[in-house]
A and B are shown apart, each in its own frame.
Chain A
Amino acid sequence: MFEKAKAVVIDRPFHASVREVRLPEVDDSSIVIRSVYGAITTGTELKTWNGRTGKLGGKLWYPLIPGYEQVGVVEYVGPKAKTTATGETLKVGDRVTANECRVYPDYCAAWGGQVGMTVKNELTSPGVFDMPAKIPEGVSFQEAVLAYLGAVAKKGIDKVGIRAGETVVVVGMGAVGLSALQLAKLAGATTIAVDISPWRVERVKKIADHIVACDGAKAYKPIAELTNGRMADVVIEASGDSAVVNSLCALIREGGWTRDDDGGRIHLQGDYPDPISITQYSQWFNRNLRISTSCAFKPGDKEYMLNLIREKKFDARILWDKEISVDNVPDEYPLLEANHAERIKTLIRWE
C-alpha cells in the first residue's frame, strides 16, 4: 500500500537528488503521513549535505535521507498505533507534523524526513517526542513546519531557566536563535540579538530589545555598552560556531560569590562540528557560571509551540524567507550555503 515514495537522497557529500525510495514496512502500529510542506534546516541538514556532520557514533553513512521538519496529512492509522505525545488518537485526514523517520531499508536516515510519505512506528520513531503533533486550526502548514525548531529552542529555554527582568543575549539569528529570542522575550527578559550578518539582525529589530551586528566572539564591547558594563545573565549560543563558544565567558556577568547568587548561565543550542575549547580557565571559573546543553526537544514541546503560533504569541513567519518545490531541493543546498549571510530558511512544497 505504502511501499515507495519520492524522497531527497544525498548520495555523498555535495551530491543530492530527488528519487523514489523504498519505505519501511507499514505494520499495524504505523501511522503514515503524506508530506505537504517541509523545510531545509540550515544548520544540521546542510552539514549532512556538505559532509561536516561527523560520525554520530557510527550512525552516519551515505547515501542518506536528510531532514526532519516536514508536515502533512494523515493517510493511514494502524489499529495498534500509539497516541501523540499529548495523548491524542490520530485519524485519517488530520493535519500533523511528521518529522523524523529513523529507518529506511536501503538508506541511512539522518534523519529521514525529506520524503513524500512518512512512516511513523516503533521502529522509525521510537521516542515519545518523535510522535506526530496535531496542527491546530488557524495554523497554516507553512507555520507548522517551524514548530520543530521552535521546540528545540524551547527545550533549551526551559533548561536554562529565564527569570523576568534578566538580560538574555542570543547569538545567531537563524531559526533556532529567532525562536529562542522570542521565547526569552515571552519569559520577561530583556533581549539582545547578536549576529555577524547585518541582514539577519536588521530583520529582528521588531522582536528584539536591542540588536548587535557583529561576530559573537567579538561582542563584548557592544554588549558592555548596552548593559552599562554589567553584561548578560544568560547567553544562548545558537550560531553553531565553536569559535563563538570559546569567547562566551566574556559576555557573562560577574557573579556566584554570595549565597543567593548562582552566577550567569550559558546554554549551547547549536550543533558544533569543530571542537569546543574552554580557555583561559580562570576567566570561566571566576564567573562561577553554568553551561547547559540540550538535544532535540521534550514530548509536548511541538504542541506547545504550535499553540503559541495559534495564539499569535510566536511569529513563525520570520523564521523563513523562501519557498521552493521539492524537485528544486538539490539545487537549493549549494545556494543556501553560498548565501548563508543573507538567508534564514527555505520551505519545501511537496504538492
Chain B
Amino acid sequence: MYEKSKAIVVEKPHQAVIKEIPIAPMDEETLVVQTTYSAISTGTEMKVWSGLSGSLGGELWYPLVPGYEEVGKVVHVGKKVKGFKVGDRVMSNECRFYPDHCAAWGGQCEIVIKNKKTSPSPFDGAVKIPDSLSDQEAVLAYLAAVAHKGFKRVSPRAGQTVLVIGMGMVGLSWIQLARIAGCRVIGMDVNDQRLKLGANFADEVIDARSDDPAEVLKDLTHGKKADIIAECTGDPGSVTHLYQYLKDGGWNFDDEPGHIHLQADYPYPLILTPYQNWFTKNLNMSFTCAIRPDGKAEMLKLIAEGKFDVKTILASDMTPEMSVNDAQQAYEMIEKSKKDIFKVILKW
C-alpha cells in the first residue's frame, strides 16, 4: 500500500536533498506513521551530515536517511499489531531499513514503516503521545529519553552534586532529571545563550571559558567538587579535563568515589592522561547508548505531568522551526553557528 515516501537523503557529506525513495515492505505486523514534525539533532545527526560519524562498524554508508526524532499520526495498523489505531499520535523515531539507502537512523521520512525489520531493538517501538502534549513537545522526548537511560544508570541520589557539562538537549534533560531527584545541579557551557537557557533549569551555571572553572566549582561546593559528572558536550577535549571537576573519594568505607557518565557521542579519541590524576580519584566511568525500553513513555509522562519542561526550550530563539523542504539550509545553518542553535524543528 505504501511503497514510496518523501525523505531527507544525505547523498554524501554536506549534501542533503528531499526526494522520494522506496521504503521497507509492509507485512501484517507493520505500523505505518505519517510524520508531522521531526527535529535535527545537533550531535549525532549533524555528524552523519558532515561526515564525522565514523564507520559504525561498517554500517554507515551514503546515500543515507538520517534522523530519529520523529512524531506523527498512525495511518495504517497491520492485522497483527496490537495497541494502536489509525489516527493515534505517536513517537515513531528509528526506521532501520530502506531497500536502497543506508538507515542512519532512517527517521527523517514522511511515511515511517515500523515492524520487526525496521525497528528490531527493544526500545524501537512507537509510543503513544498523551493528548495534552503538542507534536513539537513530543519530538523533544527522544533525546530526553537518551539522557534518562544514562541518568538511571548512574542513579544520583537527593543531596548529591551533579555537574552537567554541555547545555544541549541531552544536557538540559540531565539537569531536569537530576533536579527532580533532589540533586544540586550545576550546568556548564561555553556559550552565553546556552548558559542562559541552562540557568532556567540548573541551580547554578558555570562559564567554562572562565580562567579556572574547576576553582569556581570548588567555591560553589565548599571545596568538595562534583559527586557525579554528566558529560554531554560530545567534545573529546572536554573529557580530558573531567577529573579536575570530580570529588576525591574511595579511600575508606564512607567516602563514596565520584562517577563520570559519558553521555555524548565523541568523533575523536578520548585521551585519559596522566593516569595518576584519574585513578587516585578511585572513579567510576560509564557509557550508555540510546534509550531504555520504557524510556520514551516515561519521559512523555514526566512532560505531561508538568515535571519536565520542554516548553521553555521550544520557546527559545535557539530552537527555530523550519519546513522539511529547507532541510539542507537547516543543516548548513547549524554547522555554521552550532553553539547558537539548540535544535531545528522540522515541519512536514
Closest to A289 in B: B287
Pick the residue among B57, B122, B270 that contacts A283 (CB under 8 A): B57
Assembly CA distance A295 to B282 (angstroms): 6
Interface size in chain A (residues, C-beta < 8 A) = 43
Pick the residue among A127, A287, A294 that contacts B287 (CB under 8 A): A287
Which of the segments A4-12, A63-71, A115-123, A253-261 contacts the partner chain?
A253-261
Which of the segments B63-71, B177-185, B248-256 contacts the partner chain?
B248-256
Chain A 293-322, CB-CB to B under 8 Å as 1, else 0, gives 111101100000000000000000000000
Contact status A275-B271, CB under 8 Å: yes
Taking CB atoms and an 8 Å cut-off, the chain A residues in 150-181 that contact chain B are 159
Interface size in chain B (residues, C-beta < 8 A) = 42
Query: What distance in Å separates the Cβ of B101 from its nearest Cβ neighbour in chain A?
Result: 20
Contact status B275-A282, CB under 8 Å: no
Contact status A268-B55, CB under 8 Å: no
Interface on chain B toward A: helix, strand, loop, or mixed SS? loop
Contact status B275-A276, CB under 8 Å: yes
Assembly CA distance A56 to B282 (angstroms): 15
Assembly CA distance A55 to B274 (angstroms): 9
Pick the residue among B251, B278, B289 that contacts A129 (CB under 8 A): B251
Contact status A281-B276, CB under 8 Å: no
Pick the residue among A127, A259, A271 that contacts B294 (CB under 8 A): A259
Contact status A286-B252, CB under 8 Å: no
A203 contact set on B, CB distance < 8 A: none
A292 contact set on B, CB distance < 8 A: 283-285
Closest to A284 in B: B287
A283 contact set on B, CB distance < 8 A: 57
Contact status B253-A298, CB under 8 Å: yes
Which of the segments B91-99, B106-114, B260-268 contacts the partner chain?
B260-268
- Answer whether residue A229 sits at the interface, using C-beta atoms and an 8 A cutoff: no
Pick the residue among B56, B281, B293 that contacts A259 (CB under 8 A): B293
Contact status B286-A286, CB under 8 Å: no
Pick the residue among A257, A277, A295 that contacts B271 (CB under 8 A): A277
Assembly CA distance A277 to B273 (angstroms): 9
Contact status A285-B265, CB under 8 Å: yes
Closest to A246 in B: B269
Assembly CA distance A268 to B285 (angstroms): 11
A residues lining the B interface (CB < 8 Å): 54-57, 127-129, 159, 242, 256-259, 262, 268, 271-296, 298-299
Q: A129-B251, A278-B266, A295-B282 given. 11 additional CB < 8 A pairs?
A: A128-B252, A257-B122, A257-B293, A258-B122, A259-B294, A262-B153, A275-B271, A281-B54, A285-B289, A287-B287, A289-B286
B residues lining the A interface (CB < 8 Å): 54-57, 121-123, 153, 250-253, 262, 265-290, 292-294
